[in-house]
């Protein structure tokens, strides 16, 4: 576990949106710092924040995302292999 991450239960999009340039959530599967987990990390434009939430499965993780307010984007072929998708 990273010492600098702040683990939250979910992202409060109405609070996040007004304070961000371009908020997005990057979903990872089995990243080096959280092996065996799915991780959703909040980004502001191209800058990672310290805010994440963890899940044991993809379904559990997506259930925590405010998907009705976001658009899913598939990973780009040049992305880190741990990246599953991005939600904006």
Residue whose pair of structure tokens reads 């080096």 in the numeric block = 32
**Counted domains in the chain:** 1
Q: Are 53 and 11 in contact (CB under 8 A)?
A: yes
| Domain membership of residue 57 as a residue range | 6-87
64 φψ region: left (φ > 0), alpha (ψ -120 to 50), beta (else): alpha
Is pTM beyond 0.75 here? Answer: yes
Asked whether residue 53 is assigned to any structural domain, the reply reads yes
Quick check: is 10 in a domain?
Answer: yes
pLDDT digits (tens), the chain, 88 positions: 556 898 998 887 777 877 788 889 999 999 999 999 999 999 999 999 999 999 999 999 999 898 888 899 999 999 999 999 999 9
Instruction: State how far the Cα of 53 lies from the Cα of 5, in Å rounded to an integer.
Output: 9
Residue 63 forms part of a structural domain = yes
Measuring CA to CA, which residue among 66, 68, 53, 87 is closest to residue 12?
Answer: 66
> Is there a domain that residue 1 lies in?
no
HSE toward the beta carbon, residue 40, CA cutoff 13 A: 26
């Amino acid at each position: 576990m990273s010492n600098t991450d702040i683990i939250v239960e979910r992202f409060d999009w109405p609070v996040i949106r007004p304070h961000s340039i371009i908020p997005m959530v990057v979903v990872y599967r089995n990243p080096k710092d959280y092996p065996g987990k799915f991780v959703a990390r909040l980004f502001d434009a191209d800058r990672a924040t310290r805010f994440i939430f963890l899940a044991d499965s993809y379904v559990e993780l997506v259930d925590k995302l405010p998907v009705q307010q976001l658009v899913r984007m598939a990973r780009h072929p040049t992305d880190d292999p741990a990246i599953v998708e991005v939600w904006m």
